[in-house]
Chains A and B, each alone.
Chain A
Amino acid sequence: MTVSVLVVDDSPIARKMLRKALPVDWDITVQEACNGEEAMTHYRAGKVDVMFLDLTMPTMDGFEVLAALQKEDLNCFVIVVSADVQPQARERALGLGAIAFVAKPVNAESVRTVLREYGVLV
Chain B
Amino acid sequence: MSTAGASPAPAGFAAAGSAAPASATTAPANLSEDQTAALQEIANIGMGQAGDSIARIWKQFVALSVPRIALVESGRIPTLIHHFVGDARVSAARQAFHGAMRGEVLVVIGRGNRDQLGELMGYDGQLDLGEEQEMLLDIANVLGGACIGGIARQLGADVGFSAPSLIGTDLDSHAVVRPEELCVSTALCVEVCFTIESNQLSAHLIALMPREELVNLAQLLDRFLCNL
Contacts and interface: CB of A to CB of B under 8 A. Distances in A.
Q: Do A and B bind?
A: yes
Contact of A14 (B41, B51, B64): B41
Interface size class of B (residues with CB under 8 A): 20 to 34
Interface in B16-33: none
Interface string B38-66: 10110011011101100100000110101
B120 to A, nearest CB: 15
Interface centre among B48, B49, B51, B55 (most CB of A within 10 A): B48
A82 B37 contact: no
A88 interface: yes
Given A13-B228, A105-B154, A85 B61 contact: no
Given A12-B37, A105-B154, A86 B44 contact: no
Contacts of B44: 11, 14, 56, 83, 104
Given A56-B64, A104-B48, A11 B228 contact: no
Contacts, number: 49
A105 B45 contact: yes
29 contacts: A11-B37, A11-B41, A13-B40, A13-B228, A14-B41, A14-B44, A17-B41, A17-B228, A20-B228, A56-B64, A56-B66, A58-B66, A82-B48, A83-B45, A83-B64, A84-B51, A84-B52, A84-B64, A85-B48, A85-B49, A86-B51, A86-B55, A86-B61, A88-B61, A104-B44, A104-B45, A104-B48, A105-B45, A105-B154
Interface of A: 11-14, 16-17, 20, 56, 58, 82-86, 88-89, 104-105
Interface of B: 34, 37-38, 40-41, 44-45, 47-49, 51-52, 55, 61-62, 64, 66, 154, 225, 228
